[in-house]
Amino acid sequence: MSVDTQQAPAELTDHELKALDAHWRAANYLSVGQIYLLANPLLKERLRPEHVKPRLLGHWGTSPGLNLVHTHLNRVIRSRGRDALCVWGPGHGGPAVLANSWLEGTYAQTYPDVSRDEAGMERLFRQFSFPGGVPSHVAPETPGSIHEGGELGYSLSHAYGAAFDNPDLLVACVIGDGEAETGPLAASWHSNKFLDPVHDGAVLPILHLNGYKIANPTVLARLPESELDALLRGYGHAPIHVTGDDPMAVHRAMAAAMDDALERIDAIQRSAREDGVCERAHWPVIVLRTPKGWTGPAEVDGLPVEGTWRAHQVPLAAVRDNPEHLRQLEAWLHSYRPRELFDEQGHPSAQVLACVPDGARRLGATPHANGGLLTRELPLPDLESYAVEVDKPGATIHEPTRVLGDMLEYVMRRTGERRDFRIVGPDETASNRLQAVYGASGKAWQAQTLPVDEHLERHGRVMEILSEHTCQGWLEGYLLTGRHGLFSCYEAFVHIVDSMVNQHIKWLRTTRRLGWRAPIPSLNYLLTSHVWRQDHNGFSHQDPGFVDHILNKSPEAVRVYLPPDTNTLLSVADHVLRSRDYVNVVVAGKQPCFDWLSMGQARAHCARGAGIWDWAGTEDGGREPDVVLGCAGDVPTQEVLAAAQLLRRHLPDLTVRVVNVVDLARLLPQEEHPHGMPDAEYDALFTRDTPVIFAYHGYPWLIHRLAYRRAGHPHLHVRGYKEIGTTTTPFDMVVRNDLDRYRLVMDVIDRVPGLAVRAAAVRQQMEDTRLRHHDWIRAHGTDLPEVADWTWDG
């Protein structure tokens, strides 16, 4: 294989070259050791079967390439005095990043028992992919990491998220050619159209082509170089190619490529920052082609391994049982010449450490990878100044998200200098009625602009791209490096990032158990344009199931809020923006909605998370109510209040209680979720034996799944979305899903003992109204006047 780089080799001295190679060999040695060894880490004895782990787990294939990149990043960080962070996309190569962290001393600093000596080396090896030890991937436990290497696709968007508003940071990002086939990764290349060379740092993608996935060649590795080059230029990058399998030649080429890339980056940033150049930059990308499992066994059992997919995981699989494999492993380990790399006590030699940067410049020590250390409190307004005035319930109407937009404008404005707050969304910020924020910041955009464009801004902090994946990745990277943000999304399409949020929640769950990780700002979703208000988009845009998905995850990290009106939305937003280490899901409408609570009432109600709305019911403080009407969500709340009003009119002697739930996890037992209510509190709200008709925003069985342990559960009847979606009016939607006020009244009559006969006429009247609705809407395409003009008369 040839060495090929457009750049003249950097003038590495022989001494430097040897030192780089020593570092790389040491990292390779430590990588192999982690996969195989339980004992005898320095090979002081001949290798015996009992030195080898009983279960061989881990990924060798990508490790030597990652070690090469780490070695060469060390060099430029040290020589150029750069602050850097690296996102390791091929995170299966955990052994490599762990090896480097151990070498640079950050591992022992974080985990003192894994010291930088023989005993620590043995522990490093033993713990790897071992029960009770550390995962085989780059993970939250790995110093310097903000990116779990399990599910592939998110490295580059994470890297951009880390770079935004970090002008002095270099974010390197290694992208494996497997990951490069995924959709989220493919989309995220265009992030460079959103990177501001003035206020943001630099992202240096390093596309590492080692040619194979688990069992197949990769697409990008099998393109002619000219085609790959065109692709990367089409993505807006200036490619620098490094290809080879001779270590010394590759070291020279890689050092030259790194220097070239960093000089190009410096030039771009200088011209933007000092000369005010506004043209979109073509940032460098390094394409590194080296063999999969490079320096590992060339052949095993007569089959080629190095440079093939067979090097993906554990190249020698039977070391404990097959003496030939054992011999090959020993030879492989010795090929790195460990005696040159480590002294008798297992300390790395001075030559090995020559390229390693100092202090916080070490990739494992950068505070940006432990972002909570850098987090500042977000400036939030006095809510009263954004609250809508509510003298009595249901007398006024606002669009909740529009008012929230005003409040977010304040946050955006107050962070104008600090630049630590961003809003992301897939082209929906204005559609979701948050456009007030443009008063404080435009939308990030580095590509061409035309006179007709509005609110595009080179330095903007509202981020819009029609890729939920990219939005999510950007925001995760931004939060993981200690800043704040909000993702506003159509409710149905947030499922696009189901798997991404899974991984983020896993990350939070794990980091919460690590003492050295500082809490980071929460990932906040505002889900609007929701299931009940898809008047023209119809069925394809109707899905309230993200909440179900989230509530399956680690209770310590997930929160779900359904504010029923404008002031409750403000209160919830204030709460989630202050919080740390959660994924908060806020579901709220953008359409005009009655105001039910004053700001003071809203705060108190949200603090409780669920409560009785006395003013809406007909209890007199005496005996238990005849029926409880529960509700969660803006549309269900309105239907419940309308039902309460009908009951008051038609069945005045019925005692009705209305309970509104904002914080859905409150319905869970307290043992199941930190917000879960004690049984006594649940019983005080919902009673133990009164019929409860509960109108819920989403799939009704979720409420059963939350409340099944409660004493009153047998009396709980839930209405919600039954997957009957279509293009129609808002009220027709609730009728079709049996969530409408008339149906709720019928439910009460059907379930309160003794009402069936006494209230038969009322029931018939409700039924008739529903039938009348069906006729009317077919004829007029609008809702019944009595529904369209409905107001609360309480």
* C-beta closer to a second copy: residue 25 or 666: 666
Q: How far apart are CA 75 and CA 355, in angstroms?
A: 5
CA angle in degrees (0–180, nearest 5) for 134-293-101: 40
Torsion angles phi and psi, residue 77, rounded to 5: -60, -45
**Nearest approach, Cβ of residue 334 and a second copy (Å):** 25
- If phi over 0 gives left and psi between -120 and 50 gives alpha, with beta otherwise, what is residue 132? left
Token pair of 226, please? Answer: 């000219």
The C-alpha torsion from 750 through 784 and 718 to 744, rounded to 10°, is -30
Please report, as residue ranges, which positions from 726 to 745 form the binding site for a second copy (by CB under 8 A). Answer: 726-729, 732
Please report, as residue ranges, which positions from 635 to 664 form the binding site for a second copy (by CB under 8 A). Answer: none
Q: Per rule CB under 8 A, is residue 57 in the interface with a second copy?
A: yes
With CA atoms as reference, report the closest residue to 444 among 389, 402, 485, 498.
485
Q: Which stretch binds a second copy (CB under 8 A): 342-350, 370-378, 538-546, 740-748?
A: 538-546
**Nearest approach, Cβ of residue 778 and a second copy (Å):** 5
Please report, as residue ranges, which positions from 415 to 434 form the binding site for a second copy (by CB under 8 A). Answer: 427-431
Q: Per rule CB under 8 A, is residue 506 in the interface with a second copy?
A: yes
For residues 386-414, one letter each, b for 16 or more C-beta atoms within 10 angstroms of the residue's C-beta and e for the rest, the string is bbbebeebbeeebbbbbbbbbbbbbbbbe
Cβ(197)–Cβ(273) below 8 Å = yes
Please report, as residue ranges, which positions from 122 to 141 form the binding site for a second copy (by CB under 8 A). Answer: 129-137, 139
Q: Per rule CB under 8 A, is residue 345 in the interface with a second copy?
A: no
Q: Per rule CB under 8 A, is residue 563 in the interface with a second copy?
A: no
Please report, as residue ranges, which positions from 172 to 201 form the binding site for a second copy (by CB under 8 A). Answer: 178-179, 181-190, 193
Cβ(519)–Cβ(581) below 8 Å = yes
Please report, as residue ranges, which positions from 18 to 47 form the binding site for a second copy (by CB under 8 A). Answer: none
**Nearest approach, Cβ of residue 450 and a second copy (Å):** 7
Cβ(536)–Cβ(727) below 8 Å = yes
* C-beta closer to a second copy: residue 495 or 688: 495
* C-beta closer to a second copy: residue 534 or 601: 534
* C-beta closer to a second copy: residue 137 or 251: 137
**Nearest approach, Cβ of residue 777 and a second copy (Å):** 5
**Nearest approach, Cβ of residue 383 and a second copy (Å):** 28
Q: Per rule CB under 8 A, is residue 514 in the interface with a second copy?
A: no
* C-beta closer to a second copy: residue 536 or 623: 536
Q: Per rule CB under 8 A, is residue 413 in the interface with a second copy?
A: no
Cβ(286)–Cβ(204) below 8 Å = yes
**Nearest approach, Cβ of residue 101 and a second copy (Å):** 18
Q: Per rule CB under 8 A, is residue 55 in the interface with a second copy?
A: yes
Place of tokens 């109510």: 625
With CA atoms as reference, report the closest residue to 294 among 402, 210, 192.
210
Instruction: Assign 490 to helix, strand or coil.
Output: strand
**Nearest approach, Cβ of residue 535 and a second copy (Å):** 6
Token pair of 277, please? Answer: 């150049």
In the shown chain, the binding pattern of residues 772 to 791 toward a second copy, with x for contact by CB under 8 A and - for none, equals -----xx-xxx---------
Please report, as residue ranges, which positions from 463 to 482 form the binding site for a second copy (by CB under 8 A). Answer: 464-470
**Nearest approach, Cβ of residue 718 and a second copy (Å):** 10
Q: Per rule CB under 8 A, is residue 512 in the interface with a second copy?
A: no
With CA atoms as reference, report the closest residue to 200 among 188, 210, 192.
192
**Nearest approach, Cβ of residue 496 and a second copy (Å):** 5
* C-beta closer to a second copy: residue 94 or 143: 94
**Nearest approach, Cβ of residue 290 and a second copy (Å):** 16
Cβ(140)–Cβ(171) below 8 Å = no
Cβ(616)–Cβ(393) below 8 Å = yes
Q: Which of 1, 8, 214, 684 binds a second copy (CB under 8 A)?
A: 214
* C-beta closer to a second copy: residue 22 or 316: 316
Please report, as residue ranges, which positions from 65 to 124 form the binding site for a second copy (by CB under 8 A). Answer: none
* C-beta closer to a second copy: residue 35 or 262: 35
**Nearest approach, Cβ of residue 706 and a second copy (Å):** 8
Q: Per rule CB under 8 A, is residue 761 in the interface with a second copy?
A: no
Q: Which of 308, 571, 591, 769 binds a second copy (CB under 8 A)?
A: 308
Please report, as residue ranges, which positions from 669 to 728 form the binding site for a second copy (by CB under 8 A). Answer: 699, 701-702, 704-705, 708, 713, 723, 725-728
Instruction: Assign 55 to helix, strand or coil.
Output: coil
For residues 110-140, one letter each, b for 16 or more C-beta atoms within 10 angstroms of the residue's C-beta and e for the rest, the string is bbeebbbbbebbbbbbbbbbbeeebbbbbbb
Cβ(71)–Cβ(375) below 8 Å = no
Cβ(485)–Cβ(422) below 8 Å = yes
How does strand 421-425 pair with strand 462-464?
parallel
**Nearest approach, Cβ of residue 713 and a second copy (Å):** 7
Please report, as residue ranges, which positions from 241 to 300 form the binding site for a second copy (by CB under 8 A). Answer: none
Between the two ends of the chain, the Cα-to-Cα distance in Å is 82
